[in-house]
Structure 1
Amino acid sequence: MNKSLVPKIRFKGFNDEWKKYKLNDIGLFFRGLYNKTKADFEINNSNFYYVTYTNIYNNSFIKIDSLKYVNINNNEKQNRLIKGDILFTMTSETYNEVGLCSIFNSDIDNVYLNSFCSGFRIINIKAINSIFLLFLLLSIQYREKIIKMANGFTRYNLSKKLLLNLQVKIPNIIQQNKIADFFTIIDRKIELIKEQLILLEKQKQYYLNNMFANEKSYPKIRFKGFNNEWKSKKIKEILNYQQPTKFIVKDKIENQGKIPVLTANKSFILGYANEKNIYENIPVIIFDDFTMDMKYVNFKFMVKSSAIKILKSKTNNINLFYVFNLLKNLKLFSSDHKRYYISYVSEINVLFPNINEQTKIAHFFTIIDRKIELIKEQLNLLEKQKQYYLNNMFI
């Protein structure tokens, strides 16, 4: 048996070799919406819908609840989507995002495709399972082939002609159906976990909005047994700040090392270093003086930028994790490239409860955050499992 025609992982009972085809042998490409104006997409209600670029980019299966309205006139000849159409991103700002695909797997009528994408329609649906083909095209070996087809400088584009010549290896329809069902189940599990995560993050935001007081009112939600008035304080009365001069990493930041190197923005851990000037007086809040991004840190660290301020509780009557959530709830944002902490943030007045109520609230958000982290870990594991199978169940 030719090993190049057999995947590394197969379902039990399947032993035959896969056959070679070109996409041109099994289907045809069609264009998205054309000759449309901005006004056609600005309507709020219509009997016609279109699939956005981001809907394709973010999902293996097109989300029907994310369809947008479009105006289609009676005399227009546009390509309407049918169930099983595979949709490609044909243009992108980066190589890695071009040629991603998703499947329109619904019977909804009057749905069209955006102008920056193309659709692929299988000719013989009895011989080719469109969901199988979708996941084959998302596997690492085919993603690498598709990315190499992209051309451009500031923007990368795919040619339908090149894609039609893409050679794919496909088993019999029974195996296709089995593999398609397998990945459909994994994808549905991932979507359910994402929905749990979104719901929990919304719940957290609801409590953030209602468990902290502002200058005009006390919190709407309080734990039973707490009735004391909250006191007005400035942030600088609550927190000390420190410049991180001694703790800025000088060596090369690597993937492996002893001490994490932090930033206050989304990436958080930039890498690791093996230097000796380590910040150990934890917990603290690290605060970016320019962006006003912040992170709560309860482990030893170093930083990359002098723009970081290290914030610490002034007294034992301050629960730092409570203050962190309070600051996050202020929804601080920067509009200019300037330093904000001393001139603005430290002068903000907040209503502040006693230490017992702070601790109760902080513990409540600790539990929510831990649940969110567990769901994220579960999601990350499932996505890694999906990628593993994508890399090994296709050839």
Structure 2
Amino acid sequence: MAEQHGKALVPQIRFAGFTDPWEQRKLGELFEEHSEKDRDDLPALTIIQGGGTVHRDESKRNLQFDRSSLSNYKVVDTGDFIVHLRSFEGGLEKATCYGLVSPAYHIFRGKNVDSDFYYLYFRSKRFIDVDLKPHVYGIRDGRSIDIEGMKTIFIPWTNLAEQRQIGAFFDRLNSLITLHQRKCDKLCVLKKSMLDKMFPKGGSLYPEIRFAGFTDPWEQRKLGELFEEHSEKDRDDLPALTIIQGGGTVHRDESKRNLQFDRSSLSNYKVVDTGDFIVHLRSFEGGLEKATCYGLVSPAYHIFRGKNVDSDFYYLYFRSKRFIDVDLKPHVYGIRDGRSIDIEGMKTIFIPWTNLAEQRQIGAFFDRLNSLITLHQRK
């Protein structure tokens, strides 16, 4: 939003054609409180914080309300702003459909303003934590907003054309974010379904879905037959690594965690290579982690290196709910954060095995799927 530069109030970035300084105007000058009632012919609405309004009959919340009291409910139109019961922490909500809301809410309708533009501001950290905060009274969940005080808040104003340009820009941006979130959600559902169907279950030795050309039954083999513990040390020339649960390994010097360690003790650290599996301090709840770079990890960890297996394939299994909650659980001892894994016991766990070619196909498929999920998350 706009900042003070000299005496003029102007944003750092603007659309072409807009040069006039912005102004600060009282909220009550730009929005008027609206309290129309006696319209029980309209649908009752539910407020979704950060998501507008939806018809109560279509809401997943299954909220109960007395239909005979609808005549006391307040009318909101698309673009109206609603001061609801959690506005002190989430800002004002914008109505996205026409209907009725609780009489406990306050409705504000703009006077020749763009609602998309002001929705950005009314949900901003600046509005909630700086502008609105002095007009919030009460404690904890009993907090309320002094509506008359709120009307005196000075908020940014620019001409309607610039408001509309800014509002439309962020509306398109939000649509893109929603699109990528939906794609990401669909891919996550697909991944869960395929994981369930591409590994045998219920005692079967055949997965429900397989790539063409693979017909042999799968086997159950002991973890210790397919992976051997590896404990190479005395390589203090290698970089120290940090484990990111669900994200592999990164160089400690590049980690955002800013972890401190004694470089003189690196000779005691264990060597891991790309594709090795690491039993770390939280493996009892998150499964085994896979090294994604070459370096050193804490001597407290256990390193397992595969014998002619595909690490992408087994990473899926070693982080699965089945492995953590069923296979590994009997070999976890201790309580709460003091839990540890009996490594010798873990080596006796029977895990699925198929030929290397099928392992690689499955591993590569999920690797591509994970890359797509990550792509949409980043976008």
TM, length-normalised to structure 2 = 0.71
Are the counterparts in 2 of residues 244 and 310 from structure 1 also a CA contact under 8 Å?
A: no
Q: Does 1:164 align with 2:157?
A: no
Q: Tell me the secondary structure at the aligned position of residue 216 of structure 2.
A: coil
Unaligned runs of 5+ residues in structure 1 are: 32-46, 248-257, 379-395
Letter in 2 for 1:12: A
How far apart are the structure 2 equivalents of 1:13 and 1:79? 40
Q: How far off is 1:351 after superposition?
A: 2.8
C-alpha distance after superposition, 1:329-387 (max 9, x if no partner): 34435896263643886554333112221112111111111122222222xxxxxxxxx
CA contact (8 A) 1:260 1:270 kept: no
In structure 2, relative to structure 1, the CA distance for the partners of 1:113 and 1:134 (3 Å cut) is farther
Aligned to 1:339: 339
Aligned length, in residue pairs: 335
1:85 to partner: Cα distance: 3.0
Which residue matches 1:99?
A: 90
Deviation at 1:90, TM superposition (A): 5.4
Q: Give 1:175 shift.
A: 1.7
- Among residues 165, 188, 197, which one is paired with 1:178 in the alignment? 165
Question: What is the alpha-carbon distance in structure 2 between the residues aligned to residue 183 and residue 351 of structure 1?
Answer: 49
Question: Match of 1:180, SS?
Answer: helix
Instruction: Give 2:210's aligned amino acid.
Output: R
Larger Rg: 2
For the structure 1 residues 13 and 348, does the alpha-carbon distance in structure 2 shift closer, same or farther, using more than 3 Å as the test? same
Check conservation: 1:30, 1:120, Cα contact below 8 A: yes
How far is 1:88 from its partner?
Answer: 5.6
What amino acid is the match of 1:322? F
Out of 24, 42, 66, which is 1:73 matched to? 66
The alignment status of 1:18 with 2:4, answered yes or no, reads no
Query: Are the aligned partners of 1:237 and 1:314 in contact in 2 as well (CA < 8 Å)?
Result: no
Structure 1 position 285 matched with structure 2 position 277: yes
Matched, 1:296 2:281: no
Aligned to 1:50: 46
Secondary structure in structure 1 of the residue aligned to 2:211: coil
Identity %: 18
- The alignment partner of 2:108 has SS state of strand
SS at match of 1:233: strand
Indicate conservation of the 8 Å contact 2:80/2:110, yes or no. no
Q: Give the structure 2 partner of residue 231 of structure 1.
A: 219
CA distance in structure 2 between the aligned counterparts of 1:267 and 1:154, rounded to whole angstroms: 40
Secondary structure (helix, strand or coil) at the match of 1:228 reads coil
- Residue 214 of structure 1 and its aligned partner are, at CA, apart by 2.7
When residues 211 and 175 of structure 1 are mapped into structure 2, their CA distance, relative to the original with a 3 A threshold, is same
Shift of 1:192: 0.9
Q: Distance in 1 between matches of 2:150 and 2:234?
A: 54
CA contact (8 A) 2:117 2:164 kept: yes
> CA deviation digits over 1:26-52, x for unaligned, max 9?
336799xxxxxxxxxxxxxxx74522x
Seen in structure 2, the aligned counterparts of structure 1 residues 348 and 156 have a Cα distance that, compared at 3 Å, is: farther
SS at match of 2:29: helix
Q: Equivalent residue of 2:290, what SS?
A: strand
Q: Which moved more, 1:150-159 or 1:63-72?
A: 150-159
How far apart in 2 are the matches of 1:245 and 1:165?
Answer: 68
User: Matched residue of 2:286: which SS?
Assistant: coil
Normalising by structure 1, what TM-score? 0.69
Offset of residue 236 of structure 1: 4.0
- Cα distance in 2 between the residues matched to 1:100 and 1:244: 56
| Aligned-pair CA distance for 1:322 | 0.9
Pair 196,212 (structure 1): closer, same or farther in 2 beyond 3 Å: same
User: Matched residues in 1 for 2:142 and 2:315: separation?
Assistant: 42
Query: Could you say if the C-alpha distance between residues 25 and 171 of structure 1 is closer, same or farther in structure 2, counting changes exceeding 3 Å?
Result: same
Q: Separation in 2 of the partners of 1:310 and 1:148?
A: 51
| Higher relative contact order (CA closer than 8 Å, sequence separation 6+) | 1
User: Are the aligned partners of 1:319 and 1:359 in contact in 2 as well (CA < 8 Å)?
Assistant: yes
For residues 114 and 238 of structure 1, the distance between their equivalents in structure 2, rounded to whole angstroms, comes to 66
The two structures, once aligned, show a CA RMSD in angstroms of 4.2
Moved more, 278-287 or 8-17: 278-287
Deviation at 1:176, TM superposition (A): 1.4
* Cα 1:259–1:183 shift into 2, 3 Å: farther
